[in-house]
Chains A and B, each alone.
Chain A
Amino acid sequence: MQKVRGLVIKRAGELLSDGTVTRVLGYKCGDFFYDVTPAFFESADQLSDLEYGSFCGANLSKYLINACKDQKEGKILVLLKPCDTYSFNQLLTEHRIDRDKIYVIGVGCKGMLDIEKLKAMGFKGITKVLDNGDELDIKTIYGDKKCKRADALLEKCVCCKGKDFKAFDEVIDVEEPGEKGADRFEGVALLENMTSEERFAFWNNELSKCIRCNACRNVCPACSCMKCVFDNPVSGAAGKVNSNSFEEKMFHIIRAFHVAGRCTDCGECSRVCPQGIPLHLLNRKFIKDIDELYGDYQAGEEVGSRAPLVNFTFDDAEPSIVHERGNE
């Protein structure tokens, strides 16, 4: 990915210099290899800080909402990975961003890494992670370690949507076209096959960790409301905290419902959750249900497509199907 980084910096520099764009929305390197921060770069000389490596999992498309609204002149160059382009299209569909103000460089990706997974493997004090093909060299304050790259992929990359860009002005990619990832519904199916009591225990355990920091909501490109119902004192659902198990569930059910049919499964919610709650399992449940009941639908595949929850057919399944299928 070092090669892609070089090409991106070069091309972004050119586009800034010739005035095609006035800002570049990319990633800025941090103190360690894993702590890159999304950032705007406004001149070619700032680009030396631009990072594009194995920890650039963040989906930058949501930043475009605010960037399109500010009064700054010129176009915004944004770096989008193949999976990020779905969110980008979904935002266009919902009129949240202005295509004319944006220049999209699609950047190739071979799967991004999850620092939390590395830590869970027991690596302590990680200061540097070197990408060495299928293997990772991990430098820590307690010595050098190794692990398989595939074992450290972000959940969203394990279930990669494929390497096709659904929106771009140009593409920078040196990676070989890759395969699609694992079946993303495996985790959902596993839960579906449990008994009702087991599922209840599973979610109680997971959701009770929620600290209601709203990171999942604030990072979500589909959660782009001007004011969230959970922040609105007159909505009847406002709350700042999970005071009990009901609130934990209410927040996550409603959030998943509000993005159902609009969620591109970008996986950001799970990536950012400080408590490691597998929130993607909620979104994927809706996606799986929608696919099974109303036909395959991938949000963000196509600009302007009609989301399944603002659509219907005369012979849709009846709600009783829920009561009739699967385990009790």
Chain B
Amino acid sequence: MTDFLDPLPWLIMLPLAWGTLAFVLGPGRGGRLAVAAIALQGALALQLAGQLIDSGARVYAVGGWGAPLGIDLMADGLAAVMLLLTQAVALPLAVYARGYFAASPKGRELFWPFTGFLLAALNALFLSADLFNIYVTLELLGLAAVGLVAIAGGRQPVTAAMRYLFATLLGSGAWLLGVALIYGTYGSVSLAVLTPLIHAGAPLAVTLAAALMLAGLLLKTALFPFHFWLPPAHGGAPAPVSALLSALVIKATFYLALRLWLELFAPLTTVAAAQLLGVLGAAAILWGSVLALTQSRLKMLVAYSTVAQVGYLFLLFPLATLVPPGTADSALAGGVMQAVAHGLAKAAMFAATGSMIVATGRDDISRLGGVGARLPLTLFSFGLAGVTLMGLPPSGGFSAKWLLLGSALESGQWWWVVVMIVGGLLTAAYVFKVLRRAFLPRAAGDRVARVPRTLEFSAFALALASILLGLFGAPLLELLAVGREA
């Protein structure tokens, strides 16, 4: 396809361009440009999804060379779903961020350039079909994310950024070593070229590469026990940043892990490895939820909730590995649905959290009294997002849980059912810990200020989307199936 308006390359070029322009425009500038451009990106992502549904997965040869000499981009249903999620989360958050930084200017100077590069990195990562190119997108993503964590300055955020930087660099280092081993074995880094070459009897170097790359991704996705860097990083950044990081950045590395597992390294996967991933996911769910419950800072509670919710994503691996195709399909659908639902809900939750902190002037759960009366829409958004995280119907989180529970029972792995149910109850416990406080009347001496309307409505839009996903999720699953027909 040689159309100038082809959405696929523009999804990468556009955010790179506006990110750079926002930098040239100067400190704090570029918000309006960003909102317009992200809206356009959303339209492009929708157009791309439409193309995929009509005519199947697409391969795009950058520069016209084609793999293995050049770099290929590839768009299938899974990539399109992630692209849609990215733009759908980014647009309300961009609106939110404009209001947020107007009310709380710390860190606003370079927010827009960083966000532009972050979105470019995400879109590029989802579309890449080249292992080395993915390395570059991972670094772009990692540095943008670290930069965003540090933008507000201060002891806690800088410490968190430092820790996060080491984690993400180590993760990419492991990935690059894997790429080096793969190139050294086969002489190519193109997924399309490599996939037919890798089979069950692959050399030790390939197994090592698979293990290293996966480990690197787990570190970057903050799967238990690699979650140590996440809560301070996500809990310390300004609210729009926390939302972007929790909703999207960790999903990108999960997406790569999923792709490697299901496609490139599928012949090497074993039930034992899949169960190990599931056990780590289960541990994340329980440990993250319990720690969320013990937090006294609102943002840290939400950040630990992310640690827990990441665990649900990894339950998909045991449920989709070496089981009947129908079971695997519904597990994959459930896992991806969870990624999307959590993305929307967690963005809404961090956004609502940010509004509450702006309104009360402090990040303290015990001082939330009066929020319910003064910011009903914000609290309602928090509650709706909580419904999705708890997996109650009708919500995207419920659809995800339904599909995962179904495949767990079908494949006889009832222990994951127990984990999911207990996790859901723990989630309810920490969500209601916040709601209960916010319902109480304002304590004497506390203040609860109004916040700009855009803050309230953008958070609500995200929360509502996470609920509507549960009612109208079928087209998303249809899109997901593009390029996966057996």
Q: Do A and B bind each other?
A: no
